[in-house]
Structure 1
Amino acid sequence: MKSWMLGFMACVVFSFSGVSLAKECKPSKWGTEDELGSANLVTPQRTMEAVGLIKQGKSVPLGIVIGSNTPAFPPRSLNLQVVQPGQQGGQKVTDFGYPANYNDDLLQTWVGIGSQIDGLGHFGEHGLYYNCLEEEEISVITGLTKLGVHNIPPLVGRAVIIDMAKHFKKDFLAAGEHFGQNDIKDAAKAQDVEIREGDIVLFHTGWTENMLESEPTVWASGQPGINVDGSRYLASLNVMAVGSDTWGLEAVPAAPGDGTFYAHVVLLKENGIYILETMNSGPILRDGVNEFMFVLGQARIRGTVQMIVNPVALY
């Protein structure tokens, strides 16, 4: 087992104080048949308002470059092979009417690696997922029968970045450092960020920029992040998505009283709010921008739980 995997497992500490222990579920506010959750907040009006945030004509990728050496939540991995079909031994392809040569890709990968979106079928509790869907109803080996990421429409809207490293007066937060409602409110106020209904809210902790390349084992073994209190606060604001520049959003080890990754349950299962992980927010902040138009159109592979993504920030 890779050392970063062992380190991660050593850092995951489960604590169930304040976490639901009963099997319960409330139907979605968008109806008992809904599978889109907060994607229902994408509207022509919000899209046009987001267009108005484009002042410089810049487009910046929020996704990071990943490869076979990129650490990920165990046992996830990625393997890429570039092949030249029918061209072994220097042969050329003559079917095209000329001596052609070309490369193709073979990719064997988990799609929850690097920059990714978590769909509503990713995380549940007591066998239940978003909108009270039972695990045996949706979870088959050939792909989700409901809540698949392929169903998510393009996520387009206003996005904001809240710089939590700046808030705590640090270059980057350490693994296990967490923030909740009061910290989010204070940081947003100090940075003149207003969180509105339908927003994509991203947190910058500095973790990936400072640790992924220099200390990949440490990077994958823990992380700073939001706590359950913070996730409930954002859900109360009816946002579209919550993301961070970390690989898993919440603090690892978890905040005292929180179950590990329980904010996933709050956002995905309880509220239908999407999660965005390993968002490259640093370059945008250094450009003096914390509000922009967000555009995401993920690969539409039927039945996936997550997907590697590269959202675009336009400002």
Structure 2
Amino acid sequence: MKIIKVLIASLIAGIAQAQTDQVGKSPWGPEDEIGTLNHMTDTSRLKALSGISSGRVYDLSFDYFVGMPSFHSLGDPNYQYWLTHTPRGTVVDNPNGLGEDMNRLVSYTGDAISMYTHMGTHIDALNHFGLNGKIWNGFSADRHLGDKGWQKAGAETIPPIVARGVLIDIAASKGVDRLTENYRITVEDLKQALTRQRIQIGSGDVVLIRTGQGNLYPDRESYLHDYAGISLEAVKWMVEDQGIMLLGADNLSFEAFPPEREDNWVPVHTYLLAERGVMFMELVNLEELAADQVYEFAFIGAPLKLRGASGAPMRPLAIPIR
């Protein structure tokens, strides 16, 4: 009987929590579709770029390839690549009608891809996850989601991102190559790493979290196996207390599984995207930055402008600023 009472109490608490979870209303107005990226201004971008102290550019993206890690287990499509033209095939097919001699002289290769938008290094748009049928700023699936995608908060609305970037290397702070399986990064972990790195985060920053999972890329099974991630408490500290603008990490889902709440299977996603209007990047390649102990940099990145999409590939860059 006692166990039943505990289970009922837990269920009631979960229902009560779920009922309090509501999408956030933007302080930037009823038409806002980019949330905290509104913190960027010409002045803030110039400030980030003016501090550049090196010509070294760090590429923070991973390669795309057939067989790459992805959420195929949820039914999403794998990355597919195929050739549409080859030098020898062009000679045989003569698709341009210019004849064998011309097609032997001019070697023509063309190709195509098909992929899930949340594969590889990418950013989650604010329409990716919502609550109770709505996304950030109260836009609803009933009114704003058509057969060709969301009419609000799609990837095409995300502006080029230029800001101060900070790497928080949790793995190095703990003296390991990679955090333990399913580990959830705490506020104390963040503070200890920042103290070790002698750096602070603040309003308008792009903050990138290294778990060490990038060491396992591109091995599909190892990379996706029980990876560590950020806790809800930790993202709340960065968003509410530090005022950061954008987040990113080297794992595929940012948060860890199984979920830390029984009533929500992606509480970090819904808190950031739906409640606070904070986008984040996944599969960010942080290994070179970490190896060179580059903790502060000008962050530059822009996703593909995929109209209505819930996310898009991007190729972020980091240039040291001190």
Q: Check if 1:273 corresponds to 2:278.
A: yes
Give how far 1:138 is off.
2.4
- Which secondary structure state, in structure 2, belongs to the residue aligned with residue 250 of structure 1? coil
| Residue 108 of structure 2: aligned partner | 102
* 8 Å Cα contact 1:293/1:313 also seen in 2: yes
Give how far 1:98 is off.
4.9
Letter in 2 for 1:81: W
| Residue 119 of structure 1: aligned partner | 125
Q: CA RMSD in A?
A: 2.4
Q: Which runs of 5+ in 2 are unaligned?
A: 1-12
Q: Which structure dedicates a bigger proportion of its chain to helix?
A: 2
Give the 5 Å matches for 1:118-197: 118-197=124-203
* 8 Å Cα contact 1:18/1:257 also seen in 2: no
* 8 Å Cα contact 2:24/2:277 also seen in 1: no
Letter in 1 for 2:226: G
User: Which residue of the other structure, out of 58, 74, 88, is the alignment partner of 1:60?
Assistant: 58
Q: Deviations over 1:60-101 (max 9, x none)?
A: 111100212012113231111121188262637455995434
Q: Deviations over 1:237-261 (max 9, x none)?
A: 2222111011110012234668432
- Which secondary structure state, in structure 1, belongs to the residue aligned with residue 80 of structure 2? strand
* 8 Å Cα contact 1:223/1:253 also seen in 2: no
Letter in 2 for 1:233: W
- Percent identity of the aligned residues? 26
Give the 5 Å matches for 1:1-315: 19-22=17-20, 24-74=22-72, 75-76=75-76, 77-84=78-85, 87=90, 89=92, 91=94, 93=96, 98-99=102-103, 100-209=106-215, 211-214=216-219, 216-236=220-240, 237-255=242-260, 259-315=264-320
* 8 Å Cα contact 2:56/2:319 also seen in 1: yes
Report how many residues are paired.
299
TM-score by length of 1: 0.87
Letter in 1 for 2:47: E
Give how far 1:181 is off.
2.0
TM-score by length of 2: 0.85
- Which secondary structure state, in structure 2, belongs to the residue aligned with residue 87 of structure 1? helix
Give how far 1:112 is off.
0.7
* 8 Å Cα contact 2:299/2:319 also seen in 1: yes
* 8 Å Cα contact 1:60/1:284 also seen in 2: yes
Q: Which runs of 5+ in 1 are unaligned?
A: 1-14
Q: Whose radius of gyration is greater, 1 or 2?
A: 2
CA distance in 1, matches of 2:229, 2:21: 27
Cα distance change on mapping 1:123 and 1:88 into 2, 3 Å: farther
Letter in 1 for 2:153: L
* 8 Å Cα contact 1:294/1:312 also seen in 2: yes
| Residue 6 of structure 1: aligned partner | none
| Residue 7 of structure 1: aligned partner | none
- Which secondary structure state, in structure 2, belongs to the residue aligned with residue 21 of structure 1? helix
Q: Deviations over 1:199-221 (max 9, x none)?
A: 11000111121x2345x323223
Cα distance change on mapping 1:18 and 1:247 into 2, 3 Å: farther
Of 232-241 and 132-141, the range deviating more from structure 2: 132-141
CA distance in 2, matches of 1:132, 1:148: 14
